[in-house]
């Protein structure tokens, strides 16, 4: 096929390093989407070019530049962490290349470039729902513990604001480094403070370490509940966390146990293609991101460049494995249901079981 008949997707992911599970999940989901939907779309041959940024933002930026200039990709995608997405935003703007953010979840990312479209979630979106649930369920005094960067700062701020609005209290706000975090001294401090609950945000892949140290310190036995956004009970790790995780309540946009026909089909196909690996919220962000790209390409058939592609991404509405979702045409951010979930055992395995839903949640960060 001639060069101009190809449609290239430059997928930049952390395939190695601290965020490697994010890369593994999104790569597997993108490949599954292509296997299920073919690679001839709108008369173009779709080509996926995967690059490992090791979650170092300078590397993300260099790879994005090379993909745009040398490979002449039609769309950039991936972005495992917020600093990587922010480092790439200017390249998307300068080259008029849509940037589909499949993982990173700081509210402000969509404002860093008019070419950003997001299929993951935002931390304000997930955090507010939990701050509405907690005070109604006996949790009045909370200590927050977040990774000290964009999504953690968002989680801390929006959880706190809503808790105070609801008559709750935040007795301490702790921040732990993103790179090589040691949770022990922070958890010791929380134990001494004895709040009703500890609210946690850590990025995908770090939840198991938090859970282990929380239980080792007997915090649950001391009467301190663990709550957080669903990143902490990440489906990639949850089943290995042990029964100590039972009862942990989180809020998030996706659970592997989401009870819909579309999700059951997705989980089955994903596990079959990936040696039984359980898809997590990162996989769903990648799968839906591919769908947004494919549907836009069907409309433009490759004509009109990045601006036409971007226009065809805005306003897309469809049923994702997570439930209904919508790409808001004004903000280019995802509007979706946020679920309250509790860790329970089902068929001998640990799952985040949804018990309540807040429908069609927009990113609260966009109203400021």
Using the minimum distance from each CB to ligand DHB, give the nearer residue, 74 or 122: 122
- DSSP per-residue codes, 161-184: HHHHHTT-EEEEEEEE-SSS---H
- DSSP per-residue codes, 25-80: HHHHHHHHHHHHH-SEETTEEEEEEEEE-TT-HHHHHHHHHHHHHTS--SEEEE--
Using the minimum distance from each CB to ligand DHB, give the nearer residue, 282 or 297: 282
Distance CA 10, CA 25 (A): 16
- Using DSSP's 3-state secondary structure scheme, residue 250 falls into strand
Residues of this chain that interact with ligand DHB (CB under 6 A) are 22, 81-82, 103-106, 150-151, 203-204, 231
Q: Kindly provide the b/e burial profile for residues 62-71, where b requires at least 16 CB atoms within 10 angstroms of the residue's own CB.
A: ebbeebbeee
Using the minimum distance from each CB to ligand DHB, give the nearer residue, 88 or 106: 106
The nearest distance, CB 349 to ligand DHB, in angstroms, is 21
The nearest distance, CB 356 to ligand DHB, in angstroms, is 21
Using the minimum distance from each CB to ligand DHB, give the nearer residue, 74 or 106: 106
The nearest distance, CB 3 to ligand DHB, in angstroms, is 35
The nearest distance, CB 201 to ligand DHB, in angstroms, is 8
Using the minimum distance from each CB to ligand DHB, give the nearer residue, 7 or 201: 201
The nearest distance, CB 153 to ligand DHB, in angstroms, is 11
The nearest distance, CB 261 to ligand DHB, in angstroms, is 26
**DSSP at 97:** -
CB 138: neighbour CB atoms within 10 A? 9
Using the minimum distance from each CB to ligand DHB, give the nearer residue, 46 or 85: 85
Q: Which long-range contacts (CB under 8 A, 24 or more apart) does 187-191 make?
A: 187/145, 187/213, 187/214, 187/217, 187/219, 188/217, 190/143, 190/145, 190/219, 190/224, 191/217, 191/219, 191/222, 191/224
Residue at shortest CB range from ligand DHB: 203
Distance CA 293, CA 245 (A): 37
Distance CA 28, CA 88 (A): 23
The nearest distance, CB 209 to ligand DHB, in angstroms, is 13
Using the minimum distance from each CB to ligand DHB, give the nearer residue, 44 or 332: 332
Counts for the chain of helices (H) and strands (E), in that order? 10, 15
Using the minimum distance from each CB to ligand DHB, give the nearer residue, 228 or 321: 228
Tokens of 368: 């400021």
Using the minimum distance from each CB to ligand DHB, give the nearer residue, 122 or 320: 122
The answer to whether residues 13 and 270 touch, using CB atoms and an 8 Å cutoff, is no
The nearest distance, CB 285 to ligand DHB, in angstroms, is 10
Using the minimum distance from each CB to ligand DHB, give the nearer residue, 204 or 300: 204
The nearest distance, CB 121 to ligand DHB, in angstroms, is 8
Q: Which long-range contacts (CB under 8 A, 24 or more apart) does 33-36 make?
A: 33/286, 33/287, 33/290, 33/291, 33/294, 34/290, 35/273, 36/269
The answer to whether residues 22 and 282 touch, using CB atoms and an 8 Å cutoff, is yes
The nearest distance, CB 106 to ligand DHB, in angstroms, is 5
Q: Which residues pair with 143 in a beta bridge?
A: 172, 198
């Amino acid at each position: 096929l001639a060069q101009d008949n190809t449609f290239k997707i430059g997928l930049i992911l952390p395939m190695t390093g601290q965020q490697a599970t994010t890369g593994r999940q999104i790569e597997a989901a993108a490949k599954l989407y292509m296997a299920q939907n073919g690679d001839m779309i709108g008369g173009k041959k779709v080509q996926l070019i995967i690059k490992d940024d090791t979650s170092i933002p300078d590397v993300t930026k260099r790879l994005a530049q090379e993909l745009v200039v040398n490979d002449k990709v039609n769309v950039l995608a991936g972005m495992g962490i917020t600093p990587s997405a922010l480092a790439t935003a200017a390249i998307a703007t300068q080259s008029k290349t849509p940037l589909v953010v499949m993982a990173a979840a700081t509210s402000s990312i969509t404002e860093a470039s008019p070419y950003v479209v997001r299929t993951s979630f935002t931390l304000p979106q997930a955090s507010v729902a939990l701050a509405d649930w907690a005070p109604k369920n006996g949790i009045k005094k909370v200590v927050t513990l977040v990774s000290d960067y964009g999504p953690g700062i968002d989680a801390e701020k929006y959880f706190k604001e809503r808790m105070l609005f609801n008559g709750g209290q935040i007795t301490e706000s702790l921040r732990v480094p993103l790179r090589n975090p040691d949770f022990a001294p922070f958890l010791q401090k929380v134990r001494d403070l004895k709040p009703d609950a500890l609210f946690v945000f850590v990025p995908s892949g770090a939840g198991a370490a938090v859970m282990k140290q929380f239980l080792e310190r007997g915090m649950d036995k001391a009467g301190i509940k663990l709550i957080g956004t669903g990143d902490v009970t990440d489906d990639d790790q949850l089943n290995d966390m042990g029964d100590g995780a039972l009862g942990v309540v989180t809020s998030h946009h996706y659970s592997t146990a989401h009870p819909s026909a579309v999700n059951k089909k997705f989980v089955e196909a994903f596990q079959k293609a990936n040696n039984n690996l359980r898809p997590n919220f990162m996989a769903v962000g990648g799968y839906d991101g591919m769908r947004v790209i494919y549907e836009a390409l069907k409309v433009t058939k490759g004509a009109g460049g990045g601006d036409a592609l971007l226009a065809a991404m805005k306003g897309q509405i469809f049923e994702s494995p997570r439930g209904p979702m919508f790409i808001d045409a004004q903000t280019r951010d995802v509007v979706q249901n946020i679920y309250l979930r509790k860790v329970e055992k089902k068929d001998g395995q640990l799952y985040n079981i949804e018990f309540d839903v807040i429908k069609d949640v927009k990113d609260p960060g966009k109203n400021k």
